[in-house]
Structure 1
């Protein structure tokens, strides 16, 4: 299957995160960028945490999020650890 191009930098490819919106040429899902931004990280500072991304990619991801919030919120919820999962993971590290 070929990737579906959604924006200049955002694609969906079934082989990457099950078709979740991802930055083209990377395995970085849009939700990762959105979660950093929602935690208070300024877009201009996100490349410090994800140095393989450009500012243009980050702003494009946030623009995609602005138009597809429900889709990205569902992706965030699907990947969220429950308290029990987190406690189990922490205890076994």
Structure 2
């Protein structure tokens, strides 16, 4: 699956999740997935908590975060 295919799984719509990035069709925020990964949960453990997610959805969240990092709009000092 290409990076663009993964990013197509992400939606940012002001009428869904108050415009926060989420996985299309799930209302699960990208931030929730990234926080879970940062806490050390495996993709399989995240899917256990959110059965509507797939491995590709987890990868899409990481791809979305990578895209934001490439844009370099926020710097940690």
TM-score of the superposed pair, with normalisation by structure 2 = 0.73
Residue in structure 2 matched with residue 57 of structure 1 by the alignment: 57
- 4+ aligned runs moved over 3 Å, structure 1: none
What TM-score do the two structures reach when normalised by structure 1? 0.62
In 2: Cα distance, 1:8 partner to 1:47 partner: 19
Query: For each residue in 1:69-89, what CA deviation from the matched residue of structure 2 results, as whole angstroms up to 9, or x when unmatched?
Result: 5xxxxxxxxxxxxxxxxxxxx
The Cα offsets for residues 20-59 of structure 1, whole Å up to 9 and x where unpaired, read as 1110011111001011001001223311111110111111
Superposition CA RMSD, Å: 1.9
In structure 2, the gaps of 5 or more residues are 1-5, 70-77
For the Cα contact (< 8 Å) 2:43–2:58, is it kept in 1? Answer: yes
Report how many aligned residue pairs link the two structures. 65
Mapped to 2, the partners of 1:62 and 1:10 lie a distance apart of: 11
Q: Which residue of 1 aligns with 2:34?
A: 34
Provide structure 1 residue ranges, at least 5 long, that are not aligned to the other structure.
1-5, 70-93
3-state SS in 2 of match to 1:68? helix
Instruction: Work out which structure has the larger RCO, using CA pairs closer than 8 Å and 6 or more positions apart in sequence.
Output: 2
Give the corresponding residue for 1:12.
12
For the pair shown, the structure with the greater C-alpha radius of gyration is 1
